[in-house]
Amino acid sequence: MNIEVSIIVPCYNQAHYLGEALQSVLNQTFSNWECIIVNDGSPDDTEKIANEWCEKDDRFKYLYKDNGGLSNARNAGIKISKGTFILPLDADDMIDEVFVETLLPQLHTDKSLAIVSCFSKFFIDNKNNIVNELKPKGDTYHYLLHVNQLVATSLYRKSCWEEVGGYDEQMKTGFEDWEFWLAITKQGWKYKVVESYLFYYRKAKKSMLVDTINNHFETNKEYIIKKHNEIYVKDFDNLMTVLFHQLKTYHASEVKVKTSLEYKIGKAVTKPFRVLKAFFN
């Protein structure tokens, strides 16, 4: 029997969460899957835990590679996968037991669809402690230009991965999934969002997403716009509206900080040190 779905689980320093992610895979009511655990050169117990799961069920497979980043790890797993459809799953997240059973038929019945996603719940510590919910919308690349509507854990056709050349391995600081969805949908493919909460995203104080938003948002967004400039040019008016709104928001927050009492006190306290620095320089 041909494998229908390949679930790709990259892992780097997430061994302590890996078991929960893999258990959510094992719990799937749909059974025709393989799960490829990609150890991205992780220095923790990823290999030990991965091998335990491979012994537990032969649908789990293990791949070790030198550290190359998330895009590289996903691509490596997909290259050896046998499924017609791909589902990326980060090692610290979880999927509902009917995730594949619910989403897969959408791709079978609608040949215009490349990607199927769902509603998501964000949790802290355990998936019963929900702190936020995400209800993405849209169906074409137009909805993805300025906001990434799709979580990375969305089900898609492997042929689409092949069509666009996989995940962009130059994007090592996040938004690689956003760029990937744009690359696919700008070819004319559509996506669909199933209105059920089937994905659980672990919200952590320190994570790749937090680091991306805090330190790499502008750089990564610029990279995406330049790479896919032809579709942003078509949406020029909206692009300008979004960019200038972000500039105004940043300026307003900067003014608010500089006019705050805390800022004025801090400036007064550090003035002698600034004077001394200027004197000795």
Query: Do 189 and 242 lie in a common domain?
Result: no
Query: Does residue 273 belong to any structural domain of this protein?
Result: yes
The predicted pLDDT at position 241 comes to 79
Distance CA 72, CA 80 (A): 13
**Quick one: how far is CA 2 from the chain centroid?**
28
CA distance to 84, 94, 259, per residue, from 197 (Å): 24, 12, 43
The predicted pLDDT at position 205 comes to 59
Structural domain range at position 69: 5-204
Please give the tally of structural domains in the chain.
2
The predicted pLDDT at position 107 comes to 98
The predicted pLDDT at position 279 comes to 45
CA distance to 64, 83, 95, 115, 173, per residue, from 55 (Å): 16, 21, 22, 31, 34
Query: Do 144 and 246 lie in a common domain?
Result: no
Query: Does residue 215 belong to any structural domain of this protein?
Result: no
Distance CA 44, CA 57 (A): 22
The predicted pLDDT at position 260 comes to 58
Q: With beta carbons less than 8 A apart as the criterion, state whether 131 and 203 touch.
A: yes
The predicted pLDDT at position 239 comes to 78
CATH number of the domain to which 98 belongs: 3.90.550.10
CA distance to 41, 88, 224, per residue, from 182 (Å): 29, 16, 9
Query: Does residue 247 belong to any structural domain of this protein?
Result: yes
Query: Do 93 and 153 lie in a common domain?
Result: yes
The predicted pLDDT at position 79 comes to 98
The predicted pLDDT at position 274 comes to 47
> 190 by DSSP, 3-state: which?
strand
Binning the chain into helix, strand and coil, the percentages to the nearest 5 are 50, 20, 30
Query: Do 195 and 252 lie in a common domain?
Result: no
Query: Do 199 and 243 lie in a common domain?
Result: no
Last residue of a domain, one of 181, 204, 227: 204
Distance CA 281, CA 48 (A): 55
Going residue by residue through the chain, which has 281 residues, state the pLDDT in tens, using 9 for 90 and above.
Answer: 799 999 999 999 999 999 999 999 999 999 999 999 999 999 999 999 999 999 999 999 999 999 999 999 999 999 999 999 999 999 999 999 999 999 999 999 999 999 999 999 999 999 899 999 999 999 999 999 999 999 999 999 999 999 999 999 999 999 999 999 999 999 999 999 999 999 999 997 555 556 666 778 889 999 999 999 999 999 888 777 777 666 777 666 665 555 655 545 555 545 454 444 454 44
